[in-house]
Structure 1
Amino acid sequence: LTQNDNITKEFQIGLDMMDQLTDGNESDTEDSEESESASSEEEDEDSSFED
């Protein structure tokens, strides 16, 4: 039973770490999307000047 308890605790800690990593990735993707949209707008302006 002790071994199973330890494995369960380690597994739960692993899940918590996974949740934290996914949360961080989600926030990073949101920031990257904002920067991408801003850069795309700048590119559109440049293309209009070229035309």
Structure 2
Amino acid sequence: MRAGGRIALYGATLVAVFGVAFYAAGAFVPDGFVSHWEDSSSVPIQGEHPDQR
């Protein structure tokens, strides 16, 4: 197999692995965990003014 084919196969494998991981996370991670995580991300960083966001 030539280098171009190997790179294409590697890229396709990466896309497939990340796609499966994305859909598996959606199926296995509870929605309550995600909403708590989103709520905690709205806390301003130390020294950051809330109006600067």
TM-score, normalization by structure 2: 0.51
- Structure number with greater CO (CA < 8 Å, separation at least 6) is 2
Task: For 1:19-38, list aligned pairs within 5 A.
Answer: 19-29=19-29, 32-33=30-31, 36=32
Percent identical residues: 3
Amino acid at match of 1:3: A
Q: Larger C-alpha radius of gyration, 1 or 2?
A: 1
Aligned residue number for residue 12 of structure 1: 12
Could you list the runs of 5+ residues in structure 2 that have no partner in the other structure? 33-53
Higher share of residues assigned helix: 1
After TM superposition, the runs of 4+ consecutive aligned structure 1 residues lying more than 2 A away are none
TM-score, normalization by structure 1: 0.53
How large is the Cα RMSD of the aligned pairs?
A: 1.8
Count of aligned residue pairs for this structure pair: 32
1:2-49 per-position Cα deviation (integer Å, ceiling 9, x unaligned): 1011000011011100111001111123xx12xx3xxxxxxxxxxxxx
